[in-house]
Amino acid sequence: MNKYKELGLKSTPQRLSILAFLEGNTCHPTAEEVYRHASKKFSTMSFATVYKTLETLKQQGCLQEVTIDPEKRHFDPNTERHQHIMCTKCKKIADVFVTFDLTLPEKDVQGFQITGSHVEFYGLCPKCKGEGTMQKR
């Protein structure tokens, strides 16, 4: 938690609750999910506090915004380079730790200087895949 103090975030009990929820969290929560969790302990906490904290962490490079779900913004405290996979049925998001060496042909770069890339995968998670199999019987 000391790394967050260096960012200039005030160590309020509400923010510490948000940070504790994010620490090591691999569920890729939305701002609404972070708010629901934190507001259980701090019923007067505003959604704006959660949102501002998430935005500050993102701007400081301590949190990634995961854009795989076009319907909701998700956040990932793991800032190491990795990809994501999302279940198209239940919208569960998981990490994929595979490095891809992607090189675009010069004609397709169109003068851009490439600074990064992200590969997204979509499919059915084991639970949803199992539900589909059971329905066929």
Q: What is the pLDDT of residue 3?
A: 64
Cα separation, 133 vs 50, in Å, equals 39
Q: How confident is the model at residue 133 (pLDDT cuts 50, 70, 90)?
A: low
Cα separation, 76 vs 58, in Å, equals 9
Share of the chain above pLDDT 90, in %: 67
Task: Return the higher-pLDDT residue of 34 and 4.
Answer: 34
Cα separation, 135 vs 29, in Å, equals 29
CATH of the domain at 110: 1.10.10.10
- Domain with 77 in it: 2-135
Domain count, the chain: 1
pTM of the entire predicted model: 0.81
How many C-beta neighbours within 10 Å does residue 36 have?
A: 14
Q: What confidence tens digit (pLDDT) does each residue in 1-11 have?
A: 566 667 777 78
